[in-house]
Amino acid sequence: MTVGGAILSLLLPLLLWASFVALLCIRDWIASRAPAAQKAEALIREWLSPGQLREYKKRRKFEVTGSAGGCYLVGPGYIRDLNTGEHICFVPENWDVLPAADIMLARKIALENDEVSALKVAYRLPY
């Protein structure tokens, strides 16, 4: 047996074990997030207008008319200004631990209630 083969035969069981442990951790993390995602889905469906809800069920995105008259398409991970074609981005604090539906709902509420302030903190992307 070569030195490389001997090293591989020693490392392979460790790599397999580490992969197994990592998969268990990922599975547990996903399972722990499921209740939050389910609650977020129920909440957004309560807040959407009938037209928005139809769009959301069909395409996972919906249009929002801002308080200052702007028109936006809100999807998971983005907002598109339908008047200019620009993508804009603003997120609530702790956005990285929130379900996508909660972030989408926060964006809807911000645009519909104080579009001008929401756009002041937003990043604009020209694509």
Q: What is the pLDDT of residues 97-112, one digit of tens each?
A: 888 899 999 999 999 9
Is residue 76 one of the residues assigned to a domain? yes
Domain membership flag for residue 6: no
In a domain, 3, yes or no: no
Q: How many CA atoms lie within 13 A of 15 on its CB side?
A: 6
| Contact status, residue 73 vs residue 80, Cβ threshold 8 Å | yes
Predicted confidence (pLDDT) at residue 124 exceeds the cutoff of 80: yes
Q: Residue 87 sits in which domain range? A: 34-125
Does residue 80 fall inside a structural domain? yes
Query: Which pLDDT tens digit goes with each residue over 26-49?
Result: 665 665 568 888 899 999 999 999
24 vs 13, 83, 114, CA distance in Å?
17, 46, 43
CB proximity list for 19: less than 8 A, separation 6 or greater: none
CB 79 within 8 A of CB 124: no
pLDDT at res. 82: 95
What total of structural domains would you count in the chain?
Answer: 1
Q: How far is CA 78 from CA 98, 107, 116, in A?
A: 15, 10, 18
Average pLDDT, the chain: 85
Residue 10 falls inside a structural domain: no
Q: How confident is the model at residue 16 (pLDDT cuts 50, 70, 90)?
A: low
Q: Is residue 19 part of a domain?
A: no
d(CA 80, CA 28): 34
Note whether residue 13 is domain-resident.
Answer: no
Structure confidence at residue 49 (pLDDT)? 97
In a domain, 7, yes or no: no
Looking at beta carbons, which pairs linking 30-35 to residues 24 or more positions away fall under 8 Å?
Answer: 33/99
What letter represents residue 19's amino acid?
Answer: S
